[in-house]
Amino acid sequence: MNKKYVYFFNEGNKEMKSLLGGKGANLAEMVKIGLPVPPGFTVTTEACNRYYEDQKQIHALIVEEIFQSLEELEKRTGKKFGNPQNPLLVSVRSGSVFSMPGMMDTILNLGLNDETVVGMALATGNERFAFDSYRRFIQMFGDVVLQIPKFKFEHILDREKEENRIVLDTELTAVHLKNIIQAYKQLVQKETRKGFPQEPKEQLLMAVNAVFDSWNNPRAVVYRDLHDIPGHLGTAVNIQSMVFGNMGDTSGTGVAFTRNPSTGEKKIFGEFLMNAQGEDVVAGIRTPQSIEQLKDYMPEVYDQFITLANLLENHYKDMQDIEFTIENGKLYLLQTRNGKRTATAAINAAVDMVDEGIIDKETALMRVEPMQLDQLLHPTFEEKALAEAEKIAQGLPASPGAATGRVYFSAQDVVAAVNEGEKAILVRLETSPEDIEGMVAAEGILTARGGMTSHAAVVARGMGKCCVAGCGEIRIDEGNRVFKVNNLVFKEGDYISLDGNAGAVFAGSIPTMEPELSGKFSILMNWADEIRSLKIRTNADTPRDASVAVKFGAEGIGLCRTEHMFFEENRIPAVRQMIVAKTKEERMAALNKLLPFQKEDFIGIFEAMGERPVTIRLLDPPLHEFLPHHEEDIKALALQLGMEYAKLQETVDELKEFNPMLGHRGCRLAITYPEIYEMQVRAIVMAALEVKKEKALEVKPEIMVPLIAHEKELAIIKKLIIDTAKNVMEQYRETIDYMIGTMIEVPRAALTADAIAEHAEFFSFGTNDLTQMTYAFSRDDAGKFIGEYRKKEIFEKDPFQRLDQTGVGRLMEIAIELGRKARSDIKLGICGEHGGDPESIEFCHRIGLEYVSCSPYRVPIARLAAARAAVINK
Ligand code: PEP
Ligand code: MG
- Whether the Cβ atoms of residue 819 and residue 781 lie closer than 8 Å to each other: no
pLDDT of residue 678: 97
Ligand 1 atom index nearest CA of 706: 6
Angstrom distance (rounded) from CA 687 to CA 681? 10
C-beta 127 within 6 A of ligand 1: no
pLDDT of residue 431: 84
Ligand 1 atom index nearest CA of 539: 5
Query: Residue 317, SS3?
Result: coil
| String of DSSP letters for 596-640 | HHHHHHHHHHHHHHTTS-EEEEPP-S-GGGGS--SHHHHHHHHHH
**Cα–chain-centroid distance for residue 710?**
38
CA of 539 to the centre of ligand 1 (A): 10
Angstrom distance (rounded) from CA 453 to CA 431? 12
Task: Give the pLDDT band (50/70/90) at residue 212.
Answer: very high
CA of 430 to the centre of ligand 2 (A): 19
For residues 411 and 780, the model is more confident at: 411
Ligand 1 atom index nearest CA of 766: 3
Task: Sort 310 into a burial class: Cβ within 10 Å, 0-12 / 13-18 / 19+.
Answer: middle
Give mean pLDDT, residues 13-38.
96
- Whether the Cβ atoms of residue 257 and residue 321 lie closer than 8 Å to each other: yes
For residues 125 and 26, the model is more confident at: 26
Type of residue found at 297? Y
Assess whether pLDDT exceeds 60 at residue 814: yes
Point out the ligand nearest to the CA of residue 453.
1
Indicate the DSSP class of residue 373.
G
Give mean pLDDT, residues 805-809.
98
* Whole-prediction pTM: 0.81
Q: Whose CA is nearest to atom 3 of ligand 1?
A: 766
Looking at the chain, how many residues does it have? 874
For residues 509 and 398, the model is more confident at: 509
pLDDT tens sequence across 727-772: 999 999 999 999 999 999 999 999 999 999 999 999 999 999 999 9
- For 105, phi and psi rounded to 5 degrees? -100, -70
Q: Where are the domains of the chain?
A: 6-242, 243-341, 379-513, 532-622+657-872
Ligand 1 atom index nearest CA of 768: 3
| H helix intervals, 193-240 | 200-214, 218-226
Is 745 assigned a ligand-binding role in the annotation? Answer: yes
Sheet holding 475-477, edge to edge: 475-477, 482-485, 488-491
Catalytic hit among 176, 378, 455, 845: 455
Task: Give the pLDDT band (50/70/90) at residue 451.
Answer: confident
Is 665 assigned a ligand-binding role in the annotation? Answer: no
pLDDT tens sequence across 462-493: 777 899 998 989 999 988 999 999 999 999 99
Cα–Cα separations (whole angstroms), residue 761 to 264, 378, 605, 827: 47, 37, 22, 7
Question: Does the active-site annotation cover 467?
Answer: no
What architecture is the 532-622+657-872 domain classified under in CATH? Answer: Alpha-Beta Barrel (3.20)
C-beta 769 within 6 A of ligand 1: yes
CA of 105 to the centre of ligand 2 (A): 49
Question: Does the active-site annotation cover 560?
Answer: no
Is 328 assigned a ligand-binding role in the annotation? Answer: no
pLDDT of residue 463: 75
Q: Whose CA is nearest to atom 10 of ligand 1?
A: 769
pLDDT of residue 459: 80
Point out the ligand nearest to the CA of residue 836.
1
pLDDT tens sequence across 672-729: 999 999 999 999 999 999 999 999 999 999 999 999 999 999 999 999 999 999 999 9
Type of residue found at 235? T
Point out the ligand nearest to the CA of residue 707.
2
CA of 368 to the centre of ligand 1 (A): 29
Q: Is 243-341 in CATH node 3.30.470.20? A: yes
Q: Whose CA is nearest to atom 4 of ligand 1?
A: 766
CATH of domain 6-242: 3.30.1490.20
CA of 815 to the centre of ligand 2 (A): 16
Q: Whose CA is nearest to atom 8 of ligand 1?
A: 768
pLDDT tens sequence across 253-307: 998 999 988 789 999 998 898 988 876 665 545 677 889 999 999 999 999 999 9
Catalytic hit among 471, 831, 844, 854: 831
Element (H, E) at 507: strand 504-507
C-beta 768 within 6 A of ligand 1: yes
Task: Sort 308 into a burial class: Cβ within 10 Å, 0-12 / 13-18 / 19+.
Answer: buried
pLDDT of residue 328: 92
Q: Whose CA is nearest to atom 6 of ligand 1?
A: 766
pLDDT of residue 377: 84
Cα–Cα separations (whole angstroms), residue 546 to 330, 462, 482, 677, 695: 61, 10, 36, 23, 18
Ligand 1 atom index nearest CA of 764: 5
Angstrom distance (rounded) from CA 250 to CA 299? 12
Class of domain 379-513: alpha beta
